[in-house]
Structure 1
Amino acid sequence: MSLNPVIAAVTERIVRRSRDSRREYLAKIEHAKRVGPHRGRLSCGNLAHGFAVKDRPGKEALAGDRRANIGIVSAYNEMLSAHEPLGAFPPLIKEAAWQAGGVAQFAGGVPAMCDGVTQGQPGMELSLFSRDTIAMATAIALTHNMFDAALCLGVCDKIVPGLMIGSLSFGHLPVIFVPGGPMTSGLSNKVKSQIRQQFAAGEIGRDELLEAESQSYHSPGTCTFYGTANSNQLLMEFMGLHLPGSSFVNPGTPLRDALTRAAAERVLRITEMADDYRPIGRIVDEKALVNGIVGLLASGGSTNHTMHIVAMARAAGVVIDWSDFAEISAAVPLMARVYPNGTADVNHFAAAGGIQFMIRELLAAGLLHDDVSTVVGDGLHRYTQEPFLEDGALVWREGVAASHDTDVLRGVAEPFASTGGLRVLQGNLGRGIVKISAVEKEHRTLRAPARVFASQEHVLAAYQAGELERDTAIVVINQGPRGNGMPELHKLTPSLGVLQDKGYRVALITDGRMSGASGKIPAAIQITPEARLGGPIGRIRDGDMIALDAEAGELTVEVDDAELAAREPTVFDDEPETEFGFGRELFAVFRRNVGSAEEGACALLDAQPAAADTRTTARESEPAE
């Protein structure tokens, strides 16, 4: 099947746009390859420190150049259910590496905070910036120059993008990402959502709510809804950085352990010391990134990746913006219904055929680039295979040719929708994102007066006071990267859902985030430029009429342009503190230097002056070849 013309045109535009920055990046990793990672360049004192804890065979192996050394970078901790299983991985990796003729050392750990724990709390204001911290921690772990390859152990929201950005700064090294897998299914997502709304409506108490949440999030493994964590896993397969079929294998199973061992064995075969050198900086190119966007949109994945993919791309010298997402979304069908876009969870998705079925279908329709390099070889078609244990040995077989559950997963010919699950919004408020895959068609448009708030806590107070019992465009400002670190605003979802169920037309308009768990309420998020940088969203007044058309990608405030420009930014007397306490003061440098949401909201790469936020709208004038 020939490549879809939209996918071809967007890819070519990205290649042209990125020509200089990509060339510079490849030159840098080629230079790094020449000067390292050969341990022979280290002094005797360097080496002695690097293998001091090893036994005699290990020291002898690392002193020479016969065995490649794998650096393990892990996000293990006991706070995240998704990352707790990673604690058992290093011994498996070390044993498998030694048996395969290599060595493995635990190079370093990276922080990993749980958005589920910090949701609605001050710590959530550090969440997005934790991605950049993880990237820096990854670089510190690998900077000892002892390693010929790396395995990155991480799963959740900011962790995988952070590991990716850090790994790409060592783009001359082969890197495989090693997931932990989802927890088994607990309380159904439909029931969980109903109970949350019952609590928001005051129909049940905290004890009942906590019991339901505990039945949902009940064991080690990734949370099973299709949020950013599981979108990460799908992306890693679509971009060729996982072993095929490894994303959604439950932790603590023989197959999960076999895949972890296999990752160690495989990465040894793609080092410069072997005969199939595949550095991560070459794998993550324009085509691989487009494949990732296609997978995200076809699955109805996380809105967070409209920032994370951009930031990861920039780390590889590739420039992507939201216009690319918009054009690809118009060409890619929505193939999956996984909560919050449906009632199923990722275990049901995997059982229906999962990623392997999606890649098979999208390749056959010409919607993916097959001519890419991956960690297992050339061609994305290798990812139509899924793993099995056969007499204790790990084998791969072709995945299913037809969905086992068309309520969860469908082919390209009969999708849930003809276009992807995200829309880019444009209007006199700037640019933003809306996830429509979970929003019923009758709720995708709104024309209602604005009610402006300084925080989600203020919104909830107004809700409790009965002040929102009408058609309302709820505007929450100063929630962008420069404002307060761009926390997710999920505490609003149950309450706004109650209002919508009562028959009111409601929407959320914000320069903050809602992430992969964006639900049934239309949410125009990540509005750029943000209020703190003078964006028009910060000049909306109570009562201004807001018009949202998520289908058409339009968002406007019905105020004369001259009047809107002349207004002073909205200021609240009781605006919440966002700069001190809970470690927030330590991240002031991030808030000062972070780019806009459309630029990836990254403080590490191509930091732009504040005025640069306004340039994102100019990209619309680029020709769509």
Structure 2
Amino acid sequence: MTLNAVVSAVTDRIIARSKDSRAAYLALIQSEGEGTIRRPNLGCANLAHAYAGTEEDRDAMKADRGMNIGIVTAYNDMLSAHAVYYRYPELMKVWAREVGATAQVAGGVPAMCDGVTQGYPGMELSLFSRDTIALSTAIALSHGTFEGAALLGICDKIVPGLLMGALRFGHLPMILIPGGPMPSGLPNKAKAAVREQFAEGKVGRDELLEAEIGAYHSKGTCTFYGTANTNQMMMEVMGLHMPGSAFVNPGTKLRQELTRAAVHRLAKIGARGDSYRPIGHCVDERSIVNAAVGLLATGGSTNHLLHVPAIARAAGVIIDWEDFDRLSAAVPLLARVYPNGSADVNGFEAAGGMAYVIRELLGAGLLHGDIMTVSGDSLAAYAEKPVIAGDALTWQPVGDSGDDTILRPAAAPFSADGGMRILAGNIGRACIKVSAVERDRWIVEAPARVFEDQLDVLEAFKAGTLEQDVVVVVRFQGPRANGMPELHKLTPALGVLQNRGFKVALVTDGRMSGASGKVPCAIHCSPEALLDGAIGRIRDGDMIRVDAVNGTLDALVDPAEWAAREPAPAPVAAEGMGRELFGLFRGNADEAEKGASAVLAGAGL
């Protein structure tokens, strides 16, 4: 199938823009691969330290018989998605021995849960936890004792952070190993309804807690299609998982065999194997475009308009929001998964899952099929579903959609475009996701109510002062101001206002959740208020126009008056909950369109 003209043109645009940075990156990883900081060249005392904690594999390590795999794990048992990793290292060591390799836990990375910190001060550490994870990954791999790595991580900042760190060791082969989603509990739509009832005071805290526990009830990834599950989609279309690994439930035979296969495959794709495929070559301009296409085709998380550019930069690739905007016009929406539909990711998987999506996108010429993957030299393997046949893991062609309310073919999609748009106007540049927004709400023109704390928005809602057509503006929420927290706690209240018949929109220099849904939200507004962005000039009562049809975001204020306004004074930086420790990150983070990363900015990438 001929590559779609828009996908081809965007790819060429990225390649041209990235020419120098990508060349520098490839030179770096070639030098690292040829360097002396590797196991056969380490001193005896260095090796003794590395082997001291692993008696069972010490002789094999001394003999240097096969790959030594570094396991970088995000295990903790506070995150349901990561609690499943508890026994993985122990099992992976056994599976490594089956193919003459060894494995060691190289290090752990922090893994916080946005679902726990949502709406509280801890959320202001969330985005910068991605940079911390990148740094922790680099520390784990810095010992020079590994010929490959297994990356164990799933949720919001963990996968991007793992990749950002891992790509600076791009000469090593690496495979990302997921744990799978929890079985379905209370449907996400029912959970959202209870949240809105609570916001209106129609149910109490006990009823809300029961609903939440009914939805989030066991080990595994949350079942809505937010940032965590978008991460897993992305690893599939980039070819960094074993094919079909993303959405297989924990505790199943298939889940175990996919992890075993990942360890076996990793042992074969090292520099001394017969199929060397370092991660720095697997992640290139084409695989980054695949990630963007997958995001658009499935209605994925808006957080990836930060994460994809950051991951790309770590590999010397430069993608911007204009690239996403151009791709969105060409990529059809093939999936409806909550909050963009009623089904959860288990329903998505049962209907055909990623194998179906990849097959359809490849058939329509919307994905680069010739990328280097951890599985082979083509993405075609990812268009098949893994199954256990007898006692053996195998892959089979995917059939038609099992439910056309969840998955549709590229020839008959839910919509002709991907539902992500870039807005630009006198307020700045922002992103909006409209795949779950009713078409008659794509344009909202209403007076502004300006806030600098999301809790003040909720207080105004409870007091009844937002009972009108309104554009809620929440500023000083950017990376430099307070670490760019998600504002998902606003979703029920804004949804209630919209249900009551008001025209409602949100404009913010902060983030919205990967589960943002039916209310139009212009997010990641740049420049942010702390950097004298125009969002700081908005005053209560200004008419604001959020127009996702024409791609504009404007304050309808006389231009002379607008230009003469002084920006709002910045609030004092908050302390407590460890936020003061992240002042270095806040002070050096770059803008949202580049990924809002202090680590990458500090590295000059």
Q: Could you state the TM-score of these two structures normalised by the residue count of structure 1?
A: 0.95
- 1:194–1:608 distance in 2 versus 1, CA, 3 Å: same
Question: Are the counterparts in 2 of residues 231 and 296 from structure 1 also a CA contact under 8 Å?
Answer: yes
User: The residue matched to 1:116 in structure 2 has which SS?
Assistant: helix
- Residue 236 in 1 paired to residue 254 in 2? no
Give the C-alpha shift of residue 60 in structure 1.
2.1
Corresponding residue SS for 1:211: helix
Equivalent residue, structure 2, for 1:330: 329
Cα distance in 1 between the residues matched to 2:526 and 2:152: 33
- Show CA shifts across 1:13-43 (max 9, x none): 1000000000000000000000156311110
Task: Give the corresponding residue for 2:504.
Answer: 506
User: Is the counterpart of residue 214 in structure 1 residue 209 in structure 2?
Assistant: no
Counterpart residue identity of residue 159, structure 1:
I
- State the partner residue of 2:461: 463
Counterpart of 2:81 in structure 1 is 82
Once the 2 structures are TM-superposed, how far is the Cα of residue 569 of structure 1 from its aligned partner? 1.6
Distance 2:431 2:191 in 1: 26
Tell whether the 8 Å contact from 2:10 to 2:327 is kept in structure 1 after alignment. Answer: yes
CA deviations over 1:459-491 (Å, ceiling 9, x no partner) = 011111110000001000000000100000011
1:119-198 to 2 correspondence within 5 Å? 119-198=118-197
Q: CA deviation at 1:605?
A: 1.2
Q: How many residues are treated as equivalent by the alignment?
A: 605
Give, as a single letter, the amino acid of the residue that structure 2 aligns with 1:382. A
- Partners of 1:586 and 1:565 lie apart in 2 by 36
Whole-angstrom distance in 1 between the partners of 2:470 and 2:569 = 20
Aligned counterparts of 2:342 and 2:263: Cα–Cα separation in 1: 36
For the pair 1:115 / 2:110, whether they are aligned, the reply is no
Q: Is the 8 A contact 1:340 1:517 kept in 2?
A: yes
**In structure 1, the residue corresponding to 2:335 is in which secondary structure?**
coil
Equivalence for 1:441: 439
Task: Note the C-alpha offset of 1:326.
Answer: 0.2
* Residue in structure 2 matching 1:431, options 425, 429, 441: 429
For residues 320-364 of structure 1, the C-alpha deviation after alignment (integer angstroms, 9 at most, x for no partner) is: 100000000000001111010011100000100111011111111
* Residue of structure 2 aligned with 1:415, choices 408, 413, 416: 413
Could you tell me how far apart the structure 2 residues matched to 1:607 and 1:140 are? 17
CA drift of 1:6 comes to 0.4
In structure 1, the residue corresponding to 2:480 is in which secondary structure?
Answer: helix
Find runs of 4+ consecutive structure 1 residues off by over 4 angstroms: none
Tell me the SS of whatever aligns to 1:447: strand
Alignment of 1:256-267 (within 5 A): 256-267=255-266
3-state SS, counterpart of residue 592 of structure 2 = coil
Answer with 310-319 or 554-563: which moved more: 554-563
SS at match of 2:106: strand
2:386 alignment partner AA: P
Give me the whole-angstrom Cα distance separating, in 2, the residues matched to 1:78 and 1:566. 53
Is the Cα–Cα contact under 8 Å of residues 37 and 148 in structure 1 kept in the other structure? no
**CA deviation digits over 1:36-70, x for unaligned, max 9?**
56311110000000000222x62222123321100
CA contact (8 A) 1:425 1:550 kept: yes
Q: Find the aligned partners of 2:385 and 2:504 in 1 and give their Cα distance.
A: 43
* Aligned equivalent of 2:341: 342
Q: Work out the CA distance in 2 between the residues paired with 1:526 and 1:310.
A: 13
Conserved? CA contact 2:3–2:366, under 8 Å: yes
Opposite residue 319 of structure 2, the aligned amino acid is: I
Deviation for aligned residue 1:560 = 2.8
1: CA distance between counterparts of 2:45 and 2:557? 69
Query: What's 1:619 paired with?
Result: none
Task: Give, in angstroms, the shift of residue 123 of structure 1.
Answer: 0.3
Aligned equivalent of 1:33 = 33
Residue pair 1:125, 1:584 contacting (<8 A) in 2 also: yes
Q: Distance in 1 between matches of 2:602 and 2:101?
A: 39
Conservation of the 8 A alpha-carbon contact between 2:471 and 2:544 = yes
Work out the CA distance in 1 between the residues paired with 2:566 and 2:158: 38
1:191-219 Cα deviation digits (max 9, x unpaired): 11111100000000000000000000000
When normalised by structure 2's length, the TM-score is: 0.99
Match status 1:604 vs 2:599: yes
Name structure 2 gaps, 5 residues minimum. Answer: none
Instruction: Return the offset for 1:579.
Output: 3.3
% identity of equivalent residues? 60
CA-CA distance at 1:389 after TM superposition: 1.1
The one-letter code matched in structure 1 to 2:249 is N
